[in-house]
A and B are shown apart, each in its own frame.
Chain A
């Protein structure tokens, strides 16, 4: 970025600065109001960097898209999840009926719920395929070790999303899947019983289990995934796309 293009670097910015530099690569593409906002937020350098970034030709292969598709699915899941929680009731008495209500009574409820279900299934698949791509192109090597580690955390969090979300409809399949899943956690040496009762909120699967899984699904896991996605993407920007095989 040349000195001429760096409007507002000194901190004293006026509308005139933005207009005077309307020929600069970033400003030139933006209408007045958007330029005004990006200038106030100091986003020009970020955008300059984004626009001038060159994608290496080997990384235009479709196998480099899996992580991005998984992220798009995550965004879809966030939006549809927020919509579903408007009608969902996480209590043992009301949970199943509220899901039936979403699917049969609420306008486009079947649509929102189906998208949430299929995007969730797709995200698990895409995250896994993305991991395979990174593994087989050896993209985890120095200096990208932490990106691999944060990716493993994201894989586990995605699985945890799937496991906790599966219980929420509170039907027979949900109940028994959770029974089996938490039993597996319970078979861990030494801390198994602690894990089991922590997950279930008691010895058995009850309304306490539903409450815990709901909290994990809509509060805890989203917070974790946002932090790790941020780290994951920041490191991609820092290190760039890995080299060709």
Chain B
């Protein structure tokens, strides 16, 4: 290959990279995003209702994903344990939930007490059937949950 031929080839490649770097994001941008409020995942059995005592925050897993199970006066409520800030797993600390990464704190109902997280932990559907707790899928009630976060539940 001649020097001139190589330079022409190099200019062609660099031009293609530059043009591709503009066209690719634009094409992706124009592709419609998934629905902003969504219900994702399948139902799973996480054991007997008796293993979740009233008034306690109990960590568990649903289809391999960490959740927090609460028993509010006999009613089982389940929400994700994945922090809405950057995706770390929150753990119960007394009557609240604490994120070890950046110190976000959630109430026992999954709402933000203080940041950096801004969005509440999303709820799983949950019901007691024949003594067993059936959990799932997750429901995102707000449009503002970012795509990477919802992707963790797909």
**Using a CB–CB distance below 8 Å, which chain A residues touch chain B?**
83, 86, 97, 100-101, 104-109, 111-112
Contacts and interface: CB of A to CB of B under 8 A. Distances in A.
Given A83-B26, A101-B36, A107 B143 contact: no
Contacts, number: 41
Contacts of A101: 33, 36, 143
B64 interface: no
Interface in B17-64: 25-26, 28-31, 33-34, 36
Give the dominant DSSP class at B's interface.
loop
Contacts of A107: 25, 28-29, 31, 33, 147
A83 B30 CA distance: 8
Interface residues of B, number: 14
Interface of B: 25-26, 28-31, 33-34, 36, 143-147
A105 B36 CA distance: 7
A111 B26 CA distance: 10
Contacts of A100: 143-144
B145 A104 contact: yes
B33 A97 contact: no
Contacts of A104: 143-147
A109 B29 contact: yes
6 closest pairs, A vs B, by CB?
A: A107-B28, A108-B25, A105-B33, A104-B146, A108-B29, A106-B33
